[in-house]
Amino acid sequence: MTRTFDPVAVLEEMRPTGPADTEALARVRERVIPGAASSPRKPKPSRPRKTFAVAAGLAALAVGGVALTQVLSAPPAAATPPMLTYETDVAAVVNGTAPDGTAVTDSLAAAAGEQHTEATTNVSLVQSSSWSIEVVHPSEQPEDYRLVVVPVQRSVWSSAVDGAMRFLEVMGTPLDPDGEVELPEVTPTGPPVLDYRLPADHDRGAISTKKLPTDPERLVETVVSGTRPPHGCAAGTELDCLVDAFTSLTGSVPVPADLKAAFWTAIGDQGGVYTLGATSDRLDRTGVTIAYAVPEGGVQVLIADPDTGALLGTESIDTTGTITESEPPAVWRMEVFRQPRWVDGFESS
C-alpha cells in the first residue's frame, strides 16, 4: 500500500520539541567535542566563496540535473522556522572564534567507517522533510511575485539492481509571519504533488555512489570537476560542492560506509570548518554539529549522528537578516533526513 504524508503534520514534527536530553548531549560532548583540544589539526586557509546554492542538497545532483526546487537569487520575505539550540553562538562561525571542527569530522569519519549495513531487499526508501523557498505570483505579471517558505515531504525509492528511481514530493502551504500554517491566496509554483520515475538506464552523472571514489582527495577532485556544470565548481566553492553532493546522496540513496567516511574527511580537510557543539535536531535526535560560513552573512550547519556518522540534517542560518528580512539569527532553509529503509518495491512505504 502506498502511503502519503500530511505536510502540516510533517511541519509540526519539524518544530523544536521540549527540553533537550541533557545527559545524551553531555555524552556527545565528552566523546566528540573535547577531541578538538587533544588532537588538533591545523585547518587549511579558507577562501571566499562566490556562490550560494539555495537548493543545496536536492536530488538534482544525484540524478544528473533533475531540479525539484526552483533556485532563487532574491531574499525571501517569508516566515522562518524556530532556531535549534547550539552550545556555541552561530556568530562565532562568521568571526572565526567557534571551536575547530576537524576533530569532529575525523570522529564522524571513523564512526561511519565502522558501520556494516546490508540490504535486506532490492529497493531502498529514503524519506526527508524540508522547508524550502518558493515563488508565488499574485497576478500574471512576471515581476509581481513574493517568496514564501513551504514545507515539503520527499520520498525517494531506488533499485539496488538496476538503479531505477521514483521521486514523490508532497508540498504544504506557506507560513504566516508567526510561523503558523495559513491557506495561501495563490498557489506555489509547481504541482502540490510531484511523482515521477527515472528508468534503469538514466544518467546519474558524477554524483553516484558507484562512481564516487572513497579516497578523500580523489573524492574532492571528482566532486569539484563533476558538479555545477558546465565547468564544475568555481574556485573557493569546494566545501559547498562537497556538502551539496553529500546531502544530495543522503536524501536519495543509502550512502555506503566508506564513501560516507570519505565525505567527512574531505569536508574537514577544506578549512574554515567549525563545530557548534551538540544539539537535538528537528526529530529530537542527539547530534553533533559541523558549521561553516557562507556569503551573504550566512552559516551552514550539518547535524550528524556521532555513533554512526549518518547525516541527520542541515540548517541554513541567516546571521545578518538580509536573506530572510527577519531578526537574525534566523533559519531560512532546513532539511531533515530519516534513516534509509529497505522495502518491497516502489509502491511500498
| Phi, psi torsion values for 175, nearest 5 degrees | -110, 150
**Cell 543522503 sits at which residue?**
250
Rounded CA separation 16/282 (Å)? 6
Shortest CA distance to 308 belongs to which of 120, 107, 39, 14? 107
The confidence band for 45, taking pLDDT boundaries of 50, 70 and 90, is very low
Residue 337 to residues 129, 153, 246, 334, 345, Cα–Cα distance (Å): 7, 10, 12, 10, 20
N residues, the chain: 349
Bridge partners (DSSP) of residue 222 are none
The reply to whether 349 falls in a domain is: no
Mean pLDDT, residues 113-129 taken together: 91
> What pLDDT, on a 0 to 100 scale, did the predictor assign at position 285?
92
- Asked whether residue 237 is domain-assigned, the answer is yes
C-alpha cell recorded at residue 312: 541527520
pLDDT at 49: 30
**Of the candidates 253, 285, 289, the residue with the CA atom closest to the CA atom of residue 125:** 253
- Is pLDDT above 90 for 133? no
Mean pLDDT of the chain: 77
184 falls within a domain:
yes
Does residue 278 belong to any structural domain of this protein? yes
- Domain assignment present for residue 29? The answer is yes
> What is the structure's pLDDT at 61?
31
pLDDT for the residue numbered 23:
67
Residue 67 lies in a domain: yes
pLDDT tops 60 at residue 277: yes
Tell me whether residue 347 is in a domain.
no
**Could you say which DSSP state residue 209 is in?**
T
Range of the domain at 141: 7-341
> Mean pLDDT across the stretch 244-264?
95
Q: What is the pLDDT of residue 187?
A: 59
CA distances from 131 to 120, 156, 166, 306, 309 (A): 31, 17, 21, 25, 24
Q: How far is CA 305 from CA 46, 155, 309, in A?
A: 26, 21, 5
Q: Where are the strands (E) in the chain, listed by range?
A: 123-136, 146-159, 165-171, 193-198, 278-280, 286-294, 298-304, 311-318, 330-337, 341-343
Task: Report the b/e string of 180-202 with b at 16+ CB within 10 A.
Answer: ebeeeeeebeeeeeeeeebeeee
Counting the structural domains of the chain, the total is: 1
* CA 328 to the chain's CA centroid: 21
Query: Cis before residue 184, ω within 30 degrees of 0?
Result: no
Contact 288, 108 (CB under 8 A): yes
Q: What is the mean pLDDT of residues 276-280?
A: 96
Euclidean distance between CA atoms 56 and 60, whole angstroms = 9
175-199 pLDDT tens trace? 655 555 555 555 566 666 789 999 9
Percent of the chain beyond pLDDT 70?
67
| 346 in a structural domain | no
pLDDT at 138: 73
Q: How confident is the model at residue 85 (pLDDT cuts 50, 70, 90)?
A: very high
Measuring CA to CA, how many Å separate 207 from each of 169, 221, 247, 252, 340?
A: 21, 12, 11, 11, 18
Question: In angstroms, what CA-CA distances link 136 with 129, 154, 166, 223?
Answer: 21, 21, 27, 33
Q: What is the DSSP string of 77-129?
A: -S--PPPPP-SS-THHHHTT-SPB-HHHHHHHHHHHHT-----SSSEEEEEEE
